[in-house]
């Protein structure tokens, strides 16, 4: 009975983490177009973008084992991500055309938020191929490749390579780490005290040294251009910047994980629906921005626009967590499983 309760709490822990992350994802995307006009929004944007997608992919890696650690890769997961990527790419293209914006098909890579779907499909296949390699070797070569990739101008949004290479070490680390053991280590009181100090220090630094942080690290946070190191103050030191960024993201992410409650909360259920929330918020955020509704609300609503965007983002996250929005994904995942051939499992 105790074991069952502990297992439930561990599951709730990661559902709570995923709830926190999907809220931050939606907030970050709604603030992205306003950050350049509001110092407060810019601080929040930089704070979120430092860690939200690396941590999102780390957690995805933690729970990718059931799709990878068998004789054959679960093809339906790979195909689902690719299918969602194509649908979102089509949405993006059509919405831009509808609102009279310059539009180009982006089915072979993009900087828009649907990149996550493409990268997840690639990570599942890549990690399946590397599953017998040691954690140390995969992380070492993944980080080295990422450090040097920033110098290469051919690595950009095509096939989402810039984000794929930069974020792969986080997904791989998640794949190799046991979530139960990680949670047990993060539960220690001393760890939680250190976590509070890290988050307070990081938040204060972002708040009072925004310009310095933005100048030195924003190119690594958004990864929107090829040869990303060219945008840094010292491009030749780009690999060092990347290593510092990896260390910073790791510290902040672990601090957040340590402080997220392990018990089941009213919002824990929402953490089980992050894929559908991520999918649906993409076209809705584009409509909100490109239809002129964001600009209209900025002029018409007597509330600070940053605060208004925060409220809309949180409300939209809860709205999109309704079961009706996740039903198409449940249906897709219930289709007969397709497996990508590989060696037979020993079991």
pLDDT in tens, the chain (347 residues): 333 434 444 479 999 999 999 999 999 999 998 988 899 999 999 999 999 999 999 999 999 988 887 667 777 889 999 999 999 999 989 988 898 888 777 777 677 788 999 999 999 999 999 999 999 999 999 999 999 999 988 888 888 899 999 999 999 999 999 999 999 999 999 999 999 999 999 999 999 999 999 999 998 988 777 788 999 999 999 999 999 999 999 999 999 999 999 999 999 999 999 999 999 999 999 999 989 999 999 999 889 999 999 999 999 999 999 999 988 877 776 665 555 555 443 33
- Res 337: pLDDT: 54
Total count of domains within the chain = 1
For the chain, first and last CA: distance in Å? 28
3-state DSSP assignment of residue 339: strand
| Residue 120 token pair | 């997840």
Structural domain containing residue 227? 2-334
| Residue 40 token pair | 């407060």
| Cα–Cα distance list, 175 to 26, 124, 178, 330 (Å) | 25, 10, 8, 24
Answer yes or no: are the C-beta atoms of 120 and 60 closer than 8 Å: yes
User: CA-to-CA distance for 138 and 150, rounded, in angstroms?
Assistant: 19
In a domain, 339, yes or no: no
| Cα–Cα distance list, 304 to 174, 251, 291, 297, 318 (Å) | 38, 32, 20, 10, 22
In a domain, 186, yes or no: yes
In a domain, 343, yes or no: no
Answer yes or no: are the C-beta atoms of 325 and 276 closer than 8 Å: yes
Q: What is the DSSP letter of 320?
A: H
CA 237 to chain centre: 26
In a domain, 329, yes or no: yes
Helix residue ranges, H only, 99-132: 115-129
How many residues comprise the chain? 347
Answer yes or no: are the C-beta atoms of 218 and 210 closer than 8 Å: no
In a domain, 340, yes or no: no
In a domain, 45, yes or no: yes
- Res 31: pLDDT: 95
Cβ neighbours of residue 343 closer than 8 Å, sequence gap 6 or more: 71
Which residue, 60, 26, 101, is CA-closest to 280?
26
User: CA-to-CA distance for 280 and 278, rounded, in angstroms?
Assistant: 6
User: CA-to-CA distance for 252 and 79, rounded, in angstroms?
Assistant: 32
In a domain, 347, yes or no: no
Q: Whole-prediction pTM value?
A: 0.90
Number of helices and strands in the chain (H, E): 15, 2
């Amino acid at each position: 009975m105790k074991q069952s309760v502990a297992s439930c709490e561990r599951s709730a822990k990661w559902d709570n983490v995923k709830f926190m992350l999907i809220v931050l994802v939606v907030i970050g995307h709604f603030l992205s177009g306003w950050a350049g006009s509001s110092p407060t929004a810019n601080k929040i944007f930089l704070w979120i973008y430092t860690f939200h997608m690396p941590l999102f992919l780390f957690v995805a890696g933690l729970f990718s084992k059931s799709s990878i650690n068998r004789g054959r890769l679960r093809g339906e997961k790979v195909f689902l991500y690719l299918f969602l990527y194509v649908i979102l790419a089509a949405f993006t293209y059509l919405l831009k055309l509808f609102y009279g914006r310059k539009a180009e098909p982006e089915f072979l890579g993009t900087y828009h938020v649907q990149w996550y779907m493409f990268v997840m499909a690639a990570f599942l296949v890549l990690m399946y191929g590397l599953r017998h390699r040691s954690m140390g070797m995969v992380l070492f070569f993944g980080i080295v490749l990422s450090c040097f990739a920033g110098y290469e101008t051919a690595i950009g949004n095509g096939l989402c390579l810039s984000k794929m290479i930069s974020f792969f070490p986080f997904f791989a680390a998640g794949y190799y780490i046991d979530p139960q053991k990680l949670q047990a280590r993060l539960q220690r009181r001393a760890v939680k005290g250190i976590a509070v100090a890290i988050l307070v220090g990081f938040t204060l630094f972002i708040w009072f040294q925004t310009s310095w942080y933005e100048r030195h690290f924003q190119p690594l946070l958004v990864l929107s251009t090829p040869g990303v190191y060219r945008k840094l103050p010292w491009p030749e030191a780009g690999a060092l910047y990347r290593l510092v960024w990896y260390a910073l993201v790791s510290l902040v992410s672990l601090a957040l994980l340590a402080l997220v409650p392990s018990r089941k909360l009213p919002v824990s259920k929402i953490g089980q629906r992050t894929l559908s929330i991520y999918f649906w918020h993409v076209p809705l955020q584009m409509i909100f921005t490109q239809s002129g509704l964001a600009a209209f609300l900025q002029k018409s609503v007597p509330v600070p626009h940053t605060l208004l965007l925060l409220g809309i983002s949180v409300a939209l996250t809860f709205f999109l967590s309704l079961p009706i929005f996740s039903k198409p994904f449940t249906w897709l995942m219930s289709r007969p499983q397709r497996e990508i051939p590989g060696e037979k499992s020993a079991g």
